[in-house]
Amino acid sequence: MLTKEDLAKYPFLDQSAAFIEGYNLTLSDLSAPAYSGIVGRAVERVRCSIEGGVSPLQLGDPETEILSYPLALALVYASRVRWLVNRFATFEAKRCEELLKMETAPKLAEVAKASFGWRVGMEDLRLEWERLTFSLGMAEYLEVAPQFHSPSWKLTNKYVDRGRVFLDAKDFARLLAENLKLRIIRKAGEEGVKDFELPAALQPHLGGIAGLLEGKRQLYEDEFPDGLVDDARPPCIVAIMNDLSAGKSLSHMARFAITTFMLNVGESVDGVLKLFGNVADFDEGKARYQVEHIAGITGSRTKYAPPKCEVLRSFGLCAEPDRLCATVSHPLNYYKRKIRAGSGAKAPTGGVAPTREGMRREKEKEKERGREGGGKGAQGRPR
Amino acid sequence: MHKVVLDEFRGYYSRLPAEQLDVKDFVRREYALLHFGDQKMIRHLKFGGVSELKRSLVEGVPANVYYSSAYYRNPQADDMNAKGWEGADLIFDIDADHIRTDCKDEHDTWACLDCGCRGRGFPPDACPKCGMKKIDTVTWVCEGCLETAKREIFKLIDDFIVPDFGVALGEIEICFSGHRGYHLHVVSEGVRGLTGDGRREIADYVRGIGLDPKEHGFRQVTGTGPIVGPDMRDGGWRGKIARAIYEFVSGRSQEELRAVVGPVVADNISKSREKFLQNISDAPPHWGGMRGYSLESLLKIANAAAREHVCNIDERVTLDVKRLIRQPNSLHGKSALKTARVSYSDLERFDPLRDAVAFMGGSIKIYVKEIPRVRIGDCEVGPAKGTEMEVPRALGLYLLCKGAADPRV
pLDDT at site A32? 84
**CA–CA–CA angle B306, B311, B313 (5° rounding):** 145
pLDDT at site B225? 78
Contacts of A156 in chain B (CB under 8 A): 201, 204-205, 208-211, 237
At A97, is the pLDDT very low, low, confident or very high (cuts 50, 70, 90)? very high
Q: How distant is the Cα of B154 from the closest Cα of chain A, in angstroms?
A: 17
Q: Kindly state the percentage of chain B with pLDDT values over 70.
A: 100
H runs (alpha helix) in B315-392: 315-319, 344-347, 352-355
Residue B309 has pLDDT above 90, yes or no: yes
Q: What is the DSSP string of B241-308?
A: HHHHHHHHHHH--HHHHHHHH-HHHHHHHHHTHHHHHHHHHSSS--TTSSSS--HHHHHHHHHHHHHT
Residue A23 has pLDDT above 90, yes or no: no
pLDDT digits 0-9 by tens, B95-146: 988 888 888 888 888 888 889 898 988 888 888 888 887 888 888 888 889 9
At B30, is the pLDDT very low, low, confident or very high (cuts 50, 70, 90)? very high
At A121, is the pLDDT very low, low, confident or very high (cuts 50, 70, 90)? very high
CB A133 within 8 A of CB B210: no
Q: How distant is the Cα of A165 from the closest Cα of chain B, in angstroms?
A: 9
pLDDT at site A211? 85
Q: Kindly state the percentage of chain A with pLDDT values over 70.
A: 82
pLDDT at site A382? 32
pLDDT at site A378? 33
For the residues A356-379, what does the mean pLDDT come to?
Answer: 41
At A299, is the pLDDT very low, low, confident or very high (cuts 50, 70, 90)? low
Q: Kindly state the percentage of chain B with pLDDT values over 90.
A: 80
pLDDT at site B22? 96
B287 touches chain A (CB under 8 A): no
Q: How distant is the Cα of B66 from the closest Cα of chain A, in angstroms?
A: 22
At A94, is the pLDDT very low, low, confident or very high (cuts 50, 70, 90)? very high
Q: List beta partners, residue B68.
A: B324
Contacts of A161 in chain B (CB under 8 A): 163-164, 166, 235-236
Residue B44 has pLDDT above 50, yes or no: yes
Residue A224 has pLDDT above 70, yes or no: no
Nearest to B211 among A137, A142, A156 (CB): A156
Q: List beta partners, residue B110.
A: B119, B137
Least confidently predicted of A6-15, A20-29, A70-79, A172-181: A20-29
Mean pLDDT value across chain B: 93
pLDDT digits 0-9 by tens, B244-294: 999 999 999 999 999 999 999 999 999 999 999 999 999 889 998 888 899
Residue B219 has pLDDT above 80, yes or no: yes
pLDDT at site A281? 59
Which residues of A touch chain B, with CB atoms under 8 Å apart? Answer: 127-129, 137-139, 142-143, 145-146, 151-152, 154-164, 166, 248-249, 280-281, 300, 310-311, 314
- Higher-pLDDT residue of A275 and A161 is A161
Measure the CA–CA gap between B317 and B323, rounded to whole angstroms: 7
* Gyration radius of chain A's alpha carbons: 25
pLDDT at site A27? 81
Mutate to test the interface with B, among A157, A249, A253, A310 (most CBs of B within 10 A): A157
For the residues B219-232, what does the mean pLDDT come to?
Answer: 85
Residue A91 has pLDDT above 70, yes or no: yes
Contacts of A280 in chain B (CB under 8 A): 114, 134
Q: Which of residues 118-137 of B touch A (CB under 8 A)?
A: 132-134
Q: Kindly state the percentage of chain A with pLDDT values over 90.
A: 33
Measure the CA–CA gap between A341 and B71, rounded to whole angstroms: 45
At A28, is the pLDDT very low, low, confident or very high (cuts 50, 70, 90)? confident
pLDDT at site B139? 85
Beta pairing, strands B219-220 & B374-376: unpaired
pLDDT at site A212? 85
For the residues B13-28, what does the mean pLDDT come to?
Answer: 97
pLDDT at site A130? 85
Give the residue from chain A lying closest to B315, CA to CA: A314
Mean pLDDT value across chain A: 81
Interchain pair A155, B133: CB under 8 A: no
Measure the CA–CA gap between A326 and A320, rounded to whole angstroms: 11
The ipTM value here is 0.92
Nearest to B315 among A166, A249, A314 (CB): A314
Sequence ranges of the domains in chain A: 4-218, 230-380
Cβ count near A122 (within 10 Å): 11
Residue A372 has pLDDT above 70, yes or no: no
Q: pTM for the full model?
A: 0.81
For the residues B49-59, what does the mean pLDDT come to?
Answer: 97
B308 touches chain A (CB under 8 A): no
Interchain pair A162, B208: CB under 8 A: no
Contacts of B163 in chain A (CB under 8 A): 161-162
B247 CB-near residues (< 8 Å, 6+ apart): B305, B308
- Higher-pLDDT residue of A282 and A58 is A58
At A376, is the pLDDT very low, low, confident or very high (cuts 50, 70, 90)? very low
CB A185 within 8 A of CB A23: no
pLDDT at site A222? 56
At A302, is the pLDDT very low, low, confident or very high (cuts 50, 70, 90)? low
At B346, is the pLDDT very low, low, confident or very high (cuts 50, 70, 90)? very high
Interchain pair A163, B219: CB under 8 A: no
pLDDT at site A200? 85
Nearest to A155 among B193, B201, B315 (CB): B201
Residue A377 has pLDDT above 50, yes or no: no
Contacts of A145 in chain B (CB under 8 A): 201
| HSE of A254, CA atoms in CB hemisphere, 13 A | 19
pLDDT digits 0-9 by tens, B347-398: 999 999 999 999 999 999 999 999 999 999 999 998 999 999 999 999 999 9
The dihedral formed by the CA atoms of A134, A137, A143 and A146, expressed in degrees to the nearest 10:
60
Measure the CA–CA gap between B250 and B244, rounded to whole angstroms: 10
Residue B165 has pLDDT above 70, yes or no: yes
pLDDT at site B224? 73
H runs (alpha helix) in chain A: 4-9, 14-23, 36-51, 62-79, 82-101, 105-116, 138-144, 169-187, 203-214, 217-220, 235-245, 252-264, 269-276, 284-295, 309-314, 331-346, 352-373, 377-380
pLDDT digits 0-9 by tens, A233-260: 999 999 999 888 877 777 888 888 999 9
Interchain pair B237, A157: CB under 8 A: yes
Measure the CA–CA gap between B251 and B301, rounded to whole angstroms: 13
For the residues A270-296, what does the mean pLDDT come to?
Answer: 74
CATH 1.20.930 is held by the domain A4-218 = yes
Contacts of B228 in chain A (CB under 8 A): 128-129
Interchain pair A139, B215: CB under 8 A: no
Contacts of B311 in chain A (CB under 8 A): none
For the residues B218-243, what does the mean pLDDT come to?
Answer: 90
Measure the CA–CA gap between B224 and A333, rounded to whole angstroms: 41
pLDDT at site B10? 98
Interface A:B, Cβ pairs < 8 A: 105
Measure the CA–CA gap between B334 and B72, rounded to whole angstroms: 29
For the residues A142-167, what does the mean pLDDT come to?
Answer: 93
Q: A264: closest CA among A225, A231, A230?
A: A225
Interchain pair B200, A164: CB under 8 A: no
Q: Is the peptide bond before B284 cis (omega within 30 degrees of 0)?
A: yes
- Higher-pLDDT residue of A375 and B178 is B178
Helix (H, G, I), strand (E, B) or coil at A34: helix
The dihedral formed by the CA atoms of B100, B103, B106 and B109, expressed in degrees to the nearest 10:
-20
pLDDT digits 0-9 by tens, A325-352: 888 889 999 998 888 776 533 333 333 3
Residue B402 has pLDDT above 50, yes or no: yes
